[in-house]
Amino acid sequence: MGYDYTQWDEEVEKLLSRMTLREKIGQLNQIPEPKGREQIEAYKEKLRRGEIGSIILASSATAGNDQKRNIDIDLCNELQRTAVEEGPCGIPLLYGRDVIHGHHTVFPVPLAQAASFHPELVEACCRDTAREAAAESVHWTFAPMLDLCRDPRWGRVIEGWGEDPFLASVMGRACVRGFQGADPADEDSLLTCAKHYVGYGASEGGRDYHRTEIADYTLFNYYLPAFRAAVEAGTGTVMSAFNEISGQPVTSSRKYLTDILRGWLGFEGFVVSDWAAVQMLVRCGVAEDRVGCAKLSVLAGLDMDMVSGCYAENLEDLVKKGEIPEEAIDLAVRRILRVKWAKGLFERPYCRPRAAARKKHLDDARVLAAESMVLLKNEGVLPLKKGMKIALLGPFVREKRSLLGSWTLDYDLSDVKSLLEAMQERVGKEELGLCSDETGLFDNMAETVRQADVVLLALGESWETTGERRSVSDLALPASQRELIRRARALGKPLVGIFFCGRPLAMEGAAEFLDAALYAWHGGTKTAEAVCDILWGEANPSGRAPMTFPRRTGHIPLYYNVTSSGNFVNGYYGEEVYPCYVDSPASPAYPFGFGLSYTSFAYGEIQAERLRLSLDEFLAGEEFRLTVEVKNTGDRDGKETVQLYVHDRTASRMRPLRELKAFQKPFIRRGETAELTFCLGAPQLGFYTEQGSYIVETGVFDIYIGENCLTENKISIRLV
């Protein structure tokens, strides 16, 4: 475990023994930030009675797409002073906020961060974020989001780490460590909240809040590993998901919240609901009224009710009537108080405003943005040469807000440069040609393009089409942008598409007309500068696709870690691509792990110290040790993301054709060779049964080490 929350149990028990039932229930009650002086005074009266445990600094459930509201530090301290100095037991408030991918300094959306395949850098940037937010009264962030997602139509796909459980586990662990630091009690640390537990990313059709159907075998092998990683890293809290799984709303499911989360995963912190999820149990059809909602949720193991008020209104009566034992309330309070002690709130309840090291944070944001960008295509056009005349066209030439992405509440737009501003700063206005047509039709672009050596098209999707309640039915680039690409192509100049997006788009109708395509994502405050770093070769692109890029929306779901079929119809890996659909090839436009560089890398054959081990030796701790040489054969230094995949050929359950089990991202100078070593043990070659038991079986395992999931560089090992 990354942190022992039970170490505070002695202090917790002393406090618990002094609390009335109403005061205990108050700790389970989270309410939204107050609006106006009248509501502030009403909150103070509640605090004097011990009826509030936490305040969420958000205006609504969809705060990520709401109008920006800054934190009032003085108000937070004012309310905290009432709780600590006038409350019945002096228990401090816990302030939570959606600090997802930055605070004042905005980093790339998490899905883009996953594309960096650089967990150490992600951890450092989360540390930067924690320092900024903690300096403004925030104790607790509702991150990381660990929802495995195979459908990029879902608007919240931007908040997670993509389609792979191993990559999500690595990045989720880095995020927890970055936010919480060495000790969550540190003044510049934030408590984390692993969300949304569990399966929310599997919403049918990518439609937010919709039902999910997840078999236990799939749950244990795909949807739970990232939560295990977060628990092992020491996350203080977990958020229950809106969705139901096979008829059980997670908010009221003892199986998921207690048996699996606390029993199987060993979680010691507390569970908070998602926004008003407790009262939604009526609409789910498992509770008749708000009384039933409160009873079901608290007995399932849900500790804190986010804003619905069901706990505050009903738990006291339910205990007095004998429908809920007071021990169930005590258990929830213990968990919450443990976390408050661990956060250091009893020792340091008030916020001390302080300046953050913004220059360092902005520098880190620029590096992470560049490392997250994925070069999807390059037919010798990039990097650009000095002195080239550039035509700059498209709807994102002057755009700023969308570069930040959704779920950023505290940004400062004055920190953000548009692509035009960043390029003017880089090369000067005289080398840039702009189309002056403000209608969006670009009818007069021919003369601008004629005078240019290369055409840059700034394309993408608005931040308002991503985030909560922002799903889309069509992943294609908007028709107007596809038309712009075709018109520009007809003019005969080299064409570079720069895509500012939160999710992978369907690339048919766009990529084939481009000479180069750079996926810049919604990359945060320093997106535009990082794009320029890539375009002019000051940064060598090293991002890799954290999700599959489909050709068409109709190919969704399309993900790399798929099982085989009785017929040869797995289009992802080239098996009879056309029989999957009679109207289009079923292969991905760009597979998981794909990304180009300005240099080239050659992989040697995989070497193994041994190819065979007995199962007994293996389970006793013996490992397969594999090495591979990777040579930089190009004329530039660069980073290569070396990926290791496993395929269990024959097993008692159908196993994926490829599973990412390890990766390394070495920096290799031109002409030099790096020798990389990977060790495979029981955690890499086994799987979970539908009962949650981890097993390793005998048989042959194909091990692939290469540049993406389609690599054919492999070796076979055997357990006997």
Distance CA(635)–CA(599), nearest Å, equals 6
The answer to whether 65 and 470 are in contact (CB under 8 A) is yes
The two structure tokens encoding residue 552: 């068409």
How many Cβ atoms sit within 10 Å of the Cβ of residue 171?
A: 30
Quick one: which of 454, 432, 457 has its CA closest to 381?
454
CA–chain centroid gap for 617, Å, is 37
Are the CB atoms for 15 and 333 separated by under 8 Å?
no
Q: Which residues contact 200 (CB under 8 A, 6 or more apart)?
A: 147, 156, 212, 241, 242, 243
**Terminal-residue alpha carbon distance, the chain:** 33
Check whether the bond before 383 is cis (ω within 30° of 0).
yes
CA distance 153 to 164: 17
Burial of 356 (0-12, 13-18, 19+ CB in 10 A): buried
Catalytic positions are 274
Could you tell me where the beta strands, DSSP code E, fall in 167-267? 193-197, 237-240, 244-245, 248-249
How would you class 715 by CB atoms within 10 Å of its CB: exposed for 0-12, middle for 13-18, buried for 19 or more?
middle
Q: How far apart are CA 654 and CA 668, in angstroms?
A: 38
- Angle, CA of 94, 96 and 99, to the nearest 5°: 150
**Measured distance CA(399)–CA(402) in Å, rounded:** 7
